[in-house]
Amino acid sequence: MELRLEKFTKAFGPVTVIQDMDLTVGSGEMMALLGPSGCGKSTTLFAICGIHKMTGGRLYFGDRDVTSVPAQQRSVGVVFQNYALYPHMTAEQNIGFPLKVMRQPKAEIAKEVQRLADLVQIGDLLDRRPAQLSGGQQQRVALARAMIRKPDVLLLDEPLANLDAKLRLEMRAEIRRIQRETGITAILVTHDQVEAMSMCDRIALMRDGKIVQLDTPERMYADPASQFVAGFLGNPPISFLPARAGEQLAIGQSQVLPRPAGLEVQGDIVLGIRPEHFGPQHGQGLHGEVIFVEPQGREELVDVQLDGGGILRAILPTGDPVKLGDRVNWGVSGGNILAFSTEGVRL
């Protein structure tokens, strides 16, 4: 079912934290709400599930205006970061609880619990209490409980934040599988760009209560609307380099790069160069000295202090013999240079 926010505004007392936000999540789509701490992600989610009243604007589930519908009567399943299972209940009782509240017959509840437990693959753990389950298993129980009423919309607020790195990886894939299998419309709130990029069909990137770009992960990465977006996506992050646009791009005191095709402006700008677009594999062009090397297993990160000013980061396959203090002359993939105004607007 499609979910649509129109001119959503939220104020706490005199402070407006979201102003006139429009957001449409397509039927069966998984949308990430991504952004730094305090930008309004959870506030948006709370408004959608009905915990917070909206100050202004409308919310639609399909054609139905649910703006004033109480939370219990909205068809939403929610999973929070602290999965908040009932500690004295078994996994089975936790999952079945929403149906018990609705006074469904016992046999019906048992059947539905089994269906959900199979979906999240914890069928053999139903007798255990939360304390006897791992973090990832608890998260699966929480997910099953959120989905047992067959909600129209699934809302996930930082559902993986409490898990260790390996489990997080596993649960990322699991949640995506379950979302695809059920075809449920979902919103994932996260401040982790890797999570947003790997799990979601599209990303709404928020800053200060506004959506600054809404796009597929690939497009947002390759074609960011601003320096903020370019800096938010990508790990290791993009490097920014002040430059002067004339016949060529002047870098620092003494070096130049060719002007990217289509760049119209003259004068001071900021270049954005991703680590995979700088290095010996791109030929030669910029002279500098290696000031930082960080092995990361398969790859290593290398920072180069450019002669005449500026630092660029490269990501190279491990085994390339680069040492601290080495002099290098490395190229940039010209077609992938991003240019921004000094105010951070994409040129």
* Closer by beta carbon to ligand ATP, 136 or else 209: 209
Total binding residues for ligand ATP by CB under 6 A?
11
Which residues within the stretch 36-65 sit at the binding site for ligand ATP (CB under 6 A)? Answer: 37-43
Pairwise CA distance, residues 132 & 301, whole Å = 41
Q: How far is the CB of 254 from Mg ion (least distance, A)?
A: 46
* Closer by beta carbon to Mg ion, 45 or else 85: 45
Pairwise CA distance, residues 153 & 1, whole Å = 7
Beta strands in the chain (DSSP E): 3-12, 15-25, 30-34, 56-61, 64-65, 76-79, 153-157, 185-190, 202-207, 210-215, 239-245, 249-251, 255-257, 267-273, 278-279, 286-295, 299-306, 311-317, 327-332, 338-340
Q: How far is the CB of 16 from Mg ion (least distance, A)?
A: 17
Please identify the residue of the shown chain whose CB is closest to the bound Mg ion: 42
Is residue 42 a contact residue for Mg ion (CB under 5 A)? Answer: yes
Q: How far is the CB of 189 from Mg ion (least distance, A)?
A: 6
The window from 35-43, 135-143, 195-203, 267-275 that contacts ligand ATP (CB under 6 A) reads 35-43
The window from 30-38, 234-242, 300-308, 317-325 that contacts ligand ATP (CB under 6 A) reads 30-38
Is residue 43 a contact residue for Mg ion (CB under 5 A)? Answer: no
Is residue 72 a contact residue for ligand ATP (CB under 6 A)? Answer: no
Antiparallel, parallel or unpaired: β 185-190 and 239-245: unpaired
**How many angstroms from the chain centroid is the CA of residue 337?**
23
**How many angstroms from the chain centroid is the CA of residue 214?**
11
Helices (H), the chain: 41-49, 91-101, 106-119, 135-147, 165-182, 193-199, 217-222, 227-232
Angle at alpha carbon of residue 267, lines to 264 and 273, rounded to 5°: 75
DSSP letter, residue 18 = E
Q: How far is the CB of 162 from ligand ATP (least distance, A)?
A: 13
* Closer by beta carbon to ligand ATP, 39 or else 146: 39
Is residue 14 a contact residue for ligand ATP (CB under 6 A)? Answer: no
* Closer by beta carbon to ligand ATP, 35 or else 272: 35
The window from 26-34, 40-48, 52-60, 316-324 that contacts Mg ion (CB under 5 A) reads 40-48
- Which does residue 185 touch among ligand ATP, Mg ion, none (CB within 5 to 8 A, set by kind)? none
Is residue 292 a contact residue for ligand ATP (CB under 6 A)? Answer: no
Cα–Cα nearest to 300, from 320, 328, 326? 320
Q: Residues 298, 247: contact at Cβ < 8 Å? A: no
Pairwise CA distance, residues 170 & 335, whole Å = 35
Which residues within the stretch 140-199 sit at the binding site for ligand ATP (CB under 6 A)? Answer: 191
Total binding residues for Mg ion by CB under 5 A?
1
Task: Please report, as ranges, the residues that interact with Mg ion according to CB under 5 A.
Answer: 42
Please report, as ranges, the residues that interact with ligand ATP according to CB under 6 A: 12, 17, 35, 37-43, 191
